[in-house]
Amino acid sequence: MADFRTPLGRARGLGSAKHGAGHWISERLSAIALIPLVLWAVFGVIRLAGGDYDAAVAWVGQPLNAVLIVLLIAIAFWHMHSGMRVIVEDYIHKMPTKVGLLVANLFVCALVGALAIFSILKVALGGAQ
């Protein structure tokens, strides 16, 4: 049977996918989680800036420190991926450039975030020389 509906009418008839708010909510949840994590990390940086390699290894070896750093890296990289994605979507409208930047943003965040988490786990589990 022929469909005489306009494209807009068809889209309205289909309705929303019912998960449009997921991206928005994950941005806010990661923002709230980062407030205590970042404040903790600022004092971690001050502490480690005054110490040497052995002090840093010992600090990362503490279970609470190791877990908080891993959480910080995972949530921070998730959050900055979301933020940079919105910036690209807002300002870059040329097609190949836009997709290229979105893919680069995802790959950089995933690769560097995974490398950093693996490094922390290696040191925390005694893999450092």
Q: Which residues bind other proteins (CB under 8 A)?
A: 28, 31-32, 34-35, 38-39, 41-42, 45-47, 49-50, 52-53, 56-57, 60, 69, 73, 76-77, 80, 83-84, 87, 108, 112-113, 115-120, 122-123, 127-129
Q: How far is Cα 99 from Cα 72, in angstroms, rounded to an integer?
A: 28
Shortest reach from residue 48's CB to other proteins, in Å? 8
Q: How far is Cα 81 from Cα 84, in angstroms, rounded to an integer?
A: 5
Q: How far is Cα 89 from Cα 105, in angstroms, rounded to an integer?
A: 12
Shortest reach from residue 115's CB to other proteins, in Å? 6
Q: How far is Cα 4 from Cα 52, in angstroms, rounded to an integer?
A: 73
Shortest reach from residue 122's CB to other proteins, in Å? 5
